[in-house]
Amino acid sequence: MDSFSIWHWLVVLVVLLPTVFIPAWFGVKIASRAGFSPPSGVLLGVPLVSLVTLWVWAFRRWPRLERSGATIGAEVRN
């Protein structure tokens, strides 16, 4: 019992992949498309910090929209 076996690390990988790595990867994609810095998307992989990150992104002005000159909440007219 001095070290962990390969089975232990395999289980750790199977647990961490869907709970940490995949949300962090999606967070990087979302952050870069919204105009935020991509490393801030890694925060979605941290369990409680992800909620705060999503809250901040929801109520902050999106840099990509500011660059394009779009207004948030503007009516769409045909």
HSE at residue 20, side-chain half, CA atoms within 13 A, is 6
Tokens representing 13 are 């990988």
pLDDT of residue 35: 87
DSSP 56-70: HHHHSPPHHHHHHT-
User: Does the residue 25 lie in any domain?
Assistant: yes
pLDDT of residue 49: 92
Q: What is the pLDDT of residues 15-67, one digit of tens each?
A: 888 888 888 899 999 889 888 888 888 998 888 998 999 999 888 888 877 77
pLDDT at 70 over 70: no
**Is the entire prediction scored with pTM above 0.75?**
no
User: Does the residue 75 lie in any domain?
Assistant: no
User: Does the residue 31 lie in any domain?
Assistant: yes
User: Does the residue 78 lie in any domain?
Assistant: no
Q: Distance between CA 35 and CA 18 in Å, rounded?
A: 25
User: Does the residue 24 lie in any domain?
Assistant: yes
